[in-house]
Amino acid sequence: MEQQTFIRRTPTYFHGRYTTELAVASFGIGTIIFALHQLFPMKIEIMIFGFFYLIFAAIINGIVFLNLTYHFIMLPHQREEIAIKALILLANIPIAIFYFYLVINL
């Protein structure tokens, strides 16, 4: 009698095609808010909106990063592509910290 082996199938494709767009959009929106604050430094509404945007963007980007981490572990054949997408997403962190530092200290 022939013995059957069950192989766990993992997808050979990766659905993280919008992660780079998310990173670029987060950077763009954050830069626009920062520029508005520089143009109108006395408007507290811009600071409040920017603070809430920072929290919202951190949550959304964090969820996407966790998804990329999961796919990095589960899809070893595509690790290079996933790592590049994760690094692009993580590049927003020092920029956001720099903007936050400038807003708080100026």
Model pLDDT for residues 6-34, shown as the tens digit of each residue: 555 555 556 677 899 999 999 999 999 99
Domain regions of the chain by residue span: 19-105
Q: What is the pLDDT of residues 44-91, one digit of tens each?
A: 999 999 999 999 999 999 999 999 999 999 999 999 999 999 999 999
Cβ 68 vs Cβ 85: under 8 Å: yes
pTM summary value: 0.79
pLDDT of residue 105: 87
Cβ 89 vs Cβ 21: under 8 Å: no
Nearest to 71 by CA among 17, 8, 1: 17
pLDDT of residue 2 exceeding 90, the answer is: no
pLDDT of residue 17: 75
